[in-house]
């Protein structure tokens, strides 16, 4: 406890008396100083008229007062903390802590010690009450009329702002209880504040503070303080970014007409109302959920926005501008040839600088309600922001009120804004790669691609919260979340779950999914993200590369990053960094697992699915922007973390493997060489290289065609192989890149073929046409002896069930023999496989691998080739029986025929449709052999327009039966 001498008390009393004369600001300051001196324990406080705004009489903020100090009916007082985004904690031990410390180590720690401590607390509490009461009587009553404004209500006009930010489809915006604003950076938005009295422009001070992350920082760009300046009531945002290329003169003459929606280069909202005319406020036309006020505990009922002015009010006239100049496919050009003679490059640079800042202006004052317009710069970090309204009086900065708005403000990337690094200047591409809620992911084999419908559902109310949680788990600094390069790299690491993190989904490839959900049972991303959130961030089981790719599309499009799914057929996984995929076979044609030294883990996947994201690469030289590769499938560690990309597609195509990120790895997946070695006793090292007709890496690269949708077939595929690699795989540039990266010239001899002049027997593995599931098939190898002598040939022909990763699951059938082929003659080796031989051995995707191998004894010619094909399963028919309408029950029929001669057990359907049906799993009875299944389900549409419904059927004996249909829902 502190003690104050009598002399000191008299001196302070004198100081207080002299300072209080006239009760001016100086008097209040003196009073505050005196009170602080008298206080036994000082702590950070907000003061109003020299009095702490969070004051609770007594020392409960400093002492642990026991219950005997409380009066009947009172509750224990808890320490009051300073509210607001600028609150700080000053470490230090209170007097009570010191007292307890002394008691703990006192040699006289009797049972009365605690009583003594509580007694001194109570006595000090009573003394401070008396002193505080005496001081309060000295403050004139009219001083309290100078209190700062109090916020009663805020309104972010979520629905109206969303129309100009292209976010009106997000379900969070349309929530009926508490709509959350979903905004895109690089644009303006409106919001209103209702105070408890009329704003005094001369004395009231208002600051709007936006905070992001657990430790908001002004210098890091995660805390923004905007002071309201009434001198700029007419908005300072007179000029859109797109106006810069149209001339400065037109900015003074903005017409009040509206350009057609969907014009290219649309950015933000622009006020066109003169400074002297009344400014219209935005008015919502639907219901709002009104939050609690800052001083009331009562919740207001749902009603029209209380911040909308009474009477019929129109929205502000908003003009959209689109640049008429031609832009490159990706760049930050403002146009050329249209600059106004009124402006200069210095003025343009000044405007650009101003537009890259947060800013605020007053749009309208209507009684106690003020409508603001805020500009979010195109470089702002993406994520969930919070808004605080700070009010104070002139000259009394510490005398303030802080009000935290209830809404979570989602700020996203903006592909409609030229200044955003994810800007995409093609409106059709934006509709596909940002706004399209469904798509197709390609599986199968390179000769027989199979497109699978996938519901991305990026506007579902669970998606954005899940995205934000994943970004938090990634460890990416909040200040770096405005950089799409860093954000996409973080996404690629958090989709897959490894031992060192809690990513979104666990990958599994062995076909054992009993303790989770089969990857083939998912119809889209929403169910996965919702399960992840409801399970407290526990990774979801199970997924594979194409599921990971669908999740990446969902998350990137939800955040505003243009994204597409890409499938690479015959994708190399080079673990030794030699740009080769090495496979070894013994003399009988059996593959040697992991090579002769058991240290080769190379593999060649039948297909591998990754993603392309669209952005400008400011960290790379010019010419490498546009599509960038990211891969969320865990294959190789980079920087001790399983993540991959973004790697520039153009850099991969050119072989510029020195550019970030993971460009050599992606180049290897597309350009590595498949090297097959067979055991040979006359070889110096025990193996010889075998030639192959056509099996090579990166055979075909597909994505969905943005201009087509095929719900019944696969005509909507788009081959983009030339964007990734040169057509000629033996071009000098490719060989030069591989040689420079490999760096093992001394090993080159082992990768060279024997003398091709000695190869006089031609081998050819015939392609297999489409084979329906449950039907037999034949594997055929043609042999032609082109020499003038007989040749003794050893042949092996094998059919195996394999995973899509290229790993063999089980052998189906094998034919092997040694025979003589006469000079100039042909022979045919055929292998017949029946359904009984493969039915219970097939695994995921029902892929069969055919491997052929031959060896000519006389010339030591070695040849090998392989081919893969999927067994085609029946397609499900999805039919909507009546005209669906919003809010009315409608039925859908799912039908298919069992092609097998066995019962299907453990059956279930999965149905999903954005705006029509949330993901739903339906258990179904056993299906008889050959039975035609016809199941009817009901749904209630929530949104109007063209809606797709996707359904799958899974069972223990057969899965991957899926179908899709389009439902035109009336509003």
Q: Is 372 helix (H, G, I), strand (E, B) or coil?
A: strand
Which pLDDT does position 504 carry in this prediction?
A: 93
Quote the CA–CA distance of 723 and 702 in Å, as a whole number.
Answer: 11
Quote the CA–CA distance of 208 and 341 in Å, as a whole number.
Answer: 37
Residue 222 confidence (pLDDT) above 50: yes
Quote the CA–CA distance of 179 and 294 in Å, as a whole number.
Answer: 19
The region of weakest confidence among 136-140, 149-153, 659-663 is: 136-140
The region of weakest confidence among 355-364, 479-488, 579-588, 844-853 is: 579-588
The region of weakest confidence among 124-133, 482-491, 951-960 is: 124-133
Mean predicted confidence (pLDDT) in 2-24: 40
| Top-confidence residue, 510 or 647 | 647
Which pLDDT does position 377 carry in this prediction?
A: 96
Task: Give which of 291, 287, 259, 253 is closest to 272, Cα–Cα.
Answer: 253
Half-sphere CA count of 178, side-chain side, radius 13 A: 11
Mean predicted confidence (pLDDT) in 766-770: 88
Residue 500 confidence (pLDDT) above 70: no
Mean predicted confidence (pLDDT) in 352-379: 88
Quote the CA–CA distance of 178 and 289 in Å, as a whole number.
Answer: 5
Burial of 743 (0-12, 13-18, 19+ CB in 10 A): exposed
Quote the CA–CA distance of 786 and 758 in Å, as a whole number.
Answer: 11
Other CB atoms within 10 A of residue 746 CB: 7
Which pLDDT does position 401 carry in this prediction?
A: 92
Mean predicted confidence (pLDDT) in 766-784: 91
At 391, the pLDDT band (50, 70, 90 cuts) reads: very high
At 92, the pLDDT band (50, 70, 90 cuts) reads: very low
Which pLDDT does position 732 carry in this prediction?
A: 59
pLDDT in tens, 607-658: 999 999 999 999 999 999 999 999 998 666 544 456 787 999 999 999 888 8
| Top-confidence residue, 77 or 226 | 226
C-alpha distances out from residue 556 to 121, 241, 495, 504, 534, Å: 58, 24, 12, 14, 21
| Top-confidence residue, 54 or 478 | 478
Instruction: For 103-158, give the DSSP string.
Output: HHT-TT--TTHHHHHHHHHHHHHHHHHHHHHHHHHHS-GGGGGGPPP-EEEEE--H
CB 920 within 8 A of CB 911: yes
Peptide bond into 646 cis (omega under 30): yes
Which pLDDT does position 971 carry in this prediction?
A: 79
CB 793 within 8 A of CB 856: yes
Mean predicted confidence (pLDDT) in 445-458: 94
Residue 772 confidence (pLDDT) above 70: yes
Which pLDDT does position 614 carry in this prediction?
A: 97
Residue 274 confidence (pLDDT) above 60: no
Please name every residue paired with 543 in a beta bridge, in sequence order, or none if there are none: 507
Which pLDDT does position 93 carry in this prediction?
A: 40
Mean predicted confidence (pLDDT) in 220-244: 65
Which pLDDT does position 304 carry in this prediction?
A: 42
Residue 825 confidence (pLDDT) above 60: yes
Which pLDDT does position 649 carry in this prediction?
A: 95
CB 125 within 8 A of CB 41: no
Quote the DSSP letter at residue 250: G
At 662, the pLDDT band (50, 70, 90 cuts) reads: confident
CB 563 within 8 A of CB 614: yes
Alpha carbon of residue 152 to chain centroid: 35
At 733, the pLDDT band (50, 70, 90 cuts) reads: low
Best-predicted range by mean pLDDT (556-560, 592-596, 695-699): 556-560
Long-range contacts from 686-691, C-beta under 8 angstroms, 24+ separation: 686/596, 687/584, 687/596, 688/754, 688/860, 688/862, 689/750, 689/751, 689/752, 689/753, 689/754, 689/862, 690/585, 690/853, 690/862, 690/863, 690/864, 691/753, 691/756, 691/759, 691/861, 691/862, 691/863, 691/864
Return the residue matching tokens 């499900």. Answer: 876
CB 405 within 8 A of CB 398: no
| Top-confidence residue, 303 or 216 | 216
Residue 955 confidence (pLDDT) above 60: yes
Task: Give which of 494, 551, 553 is closest to 525, Cα–Cα.
Answer: 551
The residues near 549 (Cβ < 8 Å, ≥ 6 apart) are: 441, 565, 566, 609, 610, 611, 632, 633
C-alpha distances out from residue 213 to 184, 210, 218, 380, 411, Å: 18, 10, 12, 13, 13
Which pLDDT does position 882 carry in this prediction?
A: 84
Which pLDDT does position 36 carry in this prediction?
A: 38
Please name every residue paired with 818 in a beta bridge, in sequence order, or none if there are none: 794
Residue ranges of the alpha helices (H) in 192-270? Answer: none
Residue 30 confidence (pLDDT) above 50: no
Which pLDDT does position 51 carry in this prediction?
A: 40
What does the longest C-alpha to C-alpha distance in the chain come to?
Answer: 127
At 736, the pLDDT band (50, 70, 90 cuts) reads: low
Task: Give which of 878, 777, 754, 911 is closest to 835, Cα–Cα.
Answer: 777
Which pLDDT does position 12 carry in this prediction?
A: 40
End-to-end CA, the chain: 72
At 569, the pLDDT band (50, 70, 90 cuts) reads: very high
Quote the DSSP letter at residue 30: H
Which pLDDT does position 584 carry in this prediction?
A: 86
Which pLDDT does position 579 carry in this prediction?
A: 77
Which pLDDT does position 432 carry in this prediction?
A: 96
Which pLDDT does position 16 carry in this prediction?
A: 37
Which pLDDT does position 116 carry in this prediction?
A: 80
Which pLDDT does position 712 carry in this prediction?
A: 84
Quote the CA–CA distance of 598 and 755 in Å, as a whole number.
Answer: 29
Count Cβ neighbours within 10 Å for each residue of 863-902 and write b for 16 or more, e otherwise.
Answer: bbbbbbbbbbbbebebebeeebeeeeebebebebebbbee
Known catalytic residues? 545, 608, 631
Mean predicted confidence (pLDDT) in 198-202: 90
Peptide bond into 467 cis (omega under 30): no
Residue 813 confidence (pLDDT) above 90: yes
Which pLDDT does position 358 carry in this prediction?
A: 95
Whole-number average pLDDT of the chain: 76
CB 391 within 8 A of CB 150: yes
The region of weakest confidence among 182-191, 638-647, 804-813 is: 638-647
Mean predicted confidence (pLDDT) in 217-225: 95
Which pLDDT does position 636 carry in this prediction?
A: 60
At 743, the pLDDT band (50, 70, 90 cuts) reads: low
Strands (E), 822-943: 826-833, 847-856, 861-872, 877-880, 890-897, 907-913, 917-924, 932-939
Which pLDDT does position 922 carry in this prediction?
A: 93
Burial of 276 (0-12, 13-18, 19+ CB in 10 A): exposed
Quote the CA–CA distance of 550 and 557 in Å, as a whole number.
Answer: 11
Mean predicted confidence (pLDDT) in 40-54: 39
Both structure tokens of 384: 């969930």
Burial of 724 (0-12, 13-18, 19+ CB in 10 A): buried
Residue 393 confidence (pLDDT) above 80: yes
At 498, the pLDDT band (50, 70, 90 cuts) reads: confident
Quote the CA–CA distance of 281 and 268 in Å, as a whole number.
Answer: 17
Quote the CA–CA distance of 877 and 892 in Å, as a whole number.
Answer: 10
Q: What percent of the chain has pLDDT over 70?
A: 69
Q: What percent of the chain has pLDDT over 90?
A: 46
Quote the CA–CA distance of 873 and 885 in Å, as a whole number.
Answer: 33
């Amino acid at each position: 406890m502190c003690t104050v001498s009598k002399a000191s008390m008299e001196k302070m009393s004198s100081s207080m008396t002299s300072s209080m004369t006239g009760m001016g600001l100086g008097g209040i300051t003196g009073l505050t100083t005196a009170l602080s001196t008298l206080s036994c324990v000082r702590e950070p406080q907000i003061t109003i008229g020299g009095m702490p705004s969070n004051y609770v009489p007594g020392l409960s903020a400093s002492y642990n007062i026991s219950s005997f100090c409380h009066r009947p009916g009172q509750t224990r007082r808890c320490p009051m903390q300073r509210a607001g985004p600028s609150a700080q904690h000053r470490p230090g031990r209170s007097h009570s802590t010191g007292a307890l410390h002394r008691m703990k180590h006192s040699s006289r720690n009797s049972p009365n010690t605690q009583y003594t401590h509580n007694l001194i607390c109570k006595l000090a509490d009573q003394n401070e009450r008396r002193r505080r009461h005496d001081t309060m009587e000295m403050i004139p009553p009219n001083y309290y009329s100078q209190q700062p404004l109090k916020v009663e209500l805020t309104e972010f006009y979520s629905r109206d702002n969303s129309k100009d930010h292209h976010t009106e489809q997000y379900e969070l915006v349309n929530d009926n209880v508490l709509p959350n604003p979903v905004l895109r950076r690089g644009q303006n938005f409106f919001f209103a504040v209702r105070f408890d009295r009329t704003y005094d422009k001369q004395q009231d001070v208002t600051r709007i503070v936006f905070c992001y992350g657990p430790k908001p920082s002004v210098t890091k760009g995660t805390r923004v303080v905007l002071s309201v300046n009434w001198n700029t009531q007419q908005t300072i945002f007179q000029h859109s970014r797109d106006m810069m290329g149209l001339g400065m003169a037109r900015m003074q003459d903005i017409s009040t007409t509206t350009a057609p929606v969907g014009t290219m280069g649309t950015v933000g909202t622009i006020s066109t109302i003169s400074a002297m005319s009344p400014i219209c406020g935005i008015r919502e036309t639907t219901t709002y959920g009104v939050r609690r006020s800052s001083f009331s505990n009562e919740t207001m009922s749902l009603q029209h926005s209380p911040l909308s002015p009474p009477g019929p009010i129109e929205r502000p006239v908003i003009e959209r501008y689109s640049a008429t100049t031609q832009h490159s496919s990706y760049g930050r050009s403002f146009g050329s040839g249209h600059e106004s003679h009124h402006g200069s490059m210095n003025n343009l640079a000044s405007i650009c600088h101003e537009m890259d800042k947060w800013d605020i202006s007053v749009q309208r004052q209507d009684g106690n309600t003020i409508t603001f317009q805020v500009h979010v710069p195109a470089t702002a970090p993406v994520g969930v922001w919070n808004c605080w309204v700070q009010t104070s009086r002139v000259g009394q900065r510490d005398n303030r009120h802080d009000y935290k708005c209830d809404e979570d403000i989602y700020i996203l990337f903006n592909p409609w804004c030229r200044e955003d690094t994810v800007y995409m200047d093609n409106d059709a591409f934006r509709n596909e790669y940002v706004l399209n809620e469904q798509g197709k992911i390609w599986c199968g084999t390179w000769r027989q691609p199979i497109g699978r419908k996938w519901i991305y559902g990026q506007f579902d109310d669970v998606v954005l919260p899940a995205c934000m949680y994943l970004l938090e788990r990634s460890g990416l600094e909040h200040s770096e979340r405005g950089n799409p390069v860093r954000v996409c790299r973080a996404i690629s690491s958090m989709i897959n779950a490894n031992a060192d993190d809690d990513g979104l989904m666990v990958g599994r490839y062995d076909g054992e999914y009993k303790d989770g959900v089969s990857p083939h049972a998912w119809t889209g991303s929403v169910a996965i993200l919702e399960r992840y959130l409801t399970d407290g961030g526990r990774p979801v089981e199970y997924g594979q590369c194409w599921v990971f790719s669908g999740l990446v599309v969902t998350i990137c499009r939800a955040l505003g990053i243009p994204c597409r799914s890409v499938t690479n057929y015959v994708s190399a996984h080079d673990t030794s960094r030699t740009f080769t995929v090495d496979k070894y076979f013994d003399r009988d044609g059996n593959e040697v697992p992991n090579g002769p030294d058991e240290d080769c883990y190379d593999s060649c996947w039948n297909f591998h699915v990754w993603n392309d994201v669209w952005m400008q690469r400011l960290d790379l030289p010019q010419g490498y922007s546009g599509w960038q590769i990211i891969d969320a499938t865990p294959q190789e560690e980079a920087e001790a973390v399983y993540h991959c990309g973004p790697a520039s597609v153009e850099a991969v195509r050119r072989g510029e493997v020195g550019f970030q990120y993971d460009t050599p790895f992606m180049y290897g997946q597309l350009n590595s060489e498949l090297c097959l070695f067979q055991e040979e006793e006359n070889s110096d090292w025990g193996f010889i290289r075998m030639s192959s007709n056509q099996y090579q890496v990166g055979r075909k690269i597909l994505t969905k065609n943005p201009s087509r949708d095929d719900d019944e077939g696969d005509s909507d595929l788009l081959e983009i192989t030339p964007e990734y690699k040169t057509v000629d795989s033996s071009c000098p540039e490719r060989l030069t890149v591989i040689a420079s990266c490999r760096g093992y010239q001394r090993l080159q001899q082992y990768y060279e073929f024997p003398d091709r002049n000695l190869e006089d027997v031609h081998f050819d593995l015939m392609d297999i046409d489409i084979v329906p599931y449950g039907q037999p098939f034949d594997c055929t190898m043609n042999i032609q002896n082109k020499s003038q002598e007989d040749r003794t040939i050893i042949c092996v022909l094998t059919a195996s069930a394999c995973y899509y990763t290229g790993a063999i699951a089980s052998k189906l059938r094998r034919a092997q023999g040694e025979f003589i082929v006469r000079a100039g003659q042909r022979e045919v080796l055929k292998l017949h496989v029946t359904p009984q031989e493969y039915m219970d051995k097939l695994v995921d995707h029902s892929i069969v691998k055919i491997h052929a191998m031959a060896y000519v004894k006389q010339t030591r010619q070695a040849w090998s080739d392989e081919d893969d094909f999927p067994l085609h399963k029946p397609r499900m028919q999805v039919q909507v029986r009546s005209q669906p309408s919003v809010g009315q029950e409608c039925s859908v029929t799912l039908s298919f025929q069992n092609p097998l001669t066995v019962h299907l057990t453990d059956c279930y359907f999965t149905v999903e449709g954005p705006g029509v049906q949330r993901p739903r799993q339906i258990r179904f009875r056993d299906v008889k052999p050959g039975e035609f299944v016809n199941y009817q389900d009901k749904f209630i549409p929530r949104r109007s327009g063209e809606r797709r419904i996707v359904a799958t059927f899974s069972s223990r004996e057969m899965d991957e039966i899926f179908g899709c249909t389009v439902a035109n829902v009336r509003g």
